[in-house]
Amino acid sequence: MQTYGIEKLGIIGPKAVYRNLTPAQLTEAALRLGEGSLTNTGALLVTTGKYTGRSPDDKFIVDTPTIHDDIAWGKVNRPISRERFDAIKGKVAAYLQGREVFVFDGYAGADKKYTQKFRVINELASQNLFIHQLLIRPTAEELENYGEPDYTVLCAPGFKCDPAVDGVHSEAAIMIDYEAHMIVICGSQYAGEIKKSVFSTMNYVMTKLNVLPMHCSANMDPDSGETAVFFGLSGTGKTTLSADPARKLIGDDEHGWSPDGVFNFEGGCYAKCIDLSAEKEPDIYNAIKFGALVENVIMDPDTRELDFADGSLTENTRVGYPVNYINNAQIPGEGGIPKVVVFLTADAFGVLPPISRLSREAAMYHFVTGFTSKLAGTERGVTEPQPTFSTLFGEPFMPMDPSVYAQMLGEKLDKYGTKVYLVNTGWAGGSAAEGAKRMKLAYTRAMVTAALNGSFDSVEFKHHDVFNVDYPVSCPGVPDEKLDARGMWADKAAYDAQANKLAKMFADNFAKKYPNMPADIAAAGPKPKD
Q: Residues with catalytic annotation?
A: 54, 196, 215, 234, 238-239, 253, 318
The three state secondary structure string of 107-162 is: EECCCCCCCEEEEEEECCHHHHHHHHHHCECCCHHHHHCCCCCCEEEEEECCCCCC
447 Cβ contact partners less than 8 Å away, ≥ 6 residues apart:
354, 355, 423, 475, 478
466 Cβ contact partners less than 8 Å away, ≥ 6 residues apart:
496, 499, 500, 503, 526, 527, 528, 529
Rounded-to-10 torsion of CA 16, 142, 204, 122: -10
In 269-287, which positions are buried (b, 16+ CB within 10 angstroms) versus exposed (e)? bbbbbeebeeeebebbbeb
Chain centre to alpha carbon of residue 316: 14
Per DSSP bridges, beta strands 227-232 and 212-220 are: antiparallel
Q: How far apart are CA 454 and CA 443, in angstroms?
A: 16
Per DSSP bridges, beta strands 254-258 and 461-464 are: unpaired
Tell me the one-letter amino acid at 259. Answer: P
Q: What letter does residue 359 receive in the DSSP assignment?
A: -
- Looking at the DSSP bridge assignments, the partners of residue 232 are 344
What number of CA atoms fall less than 13 Å from residue 23's CA on the CB side? 17
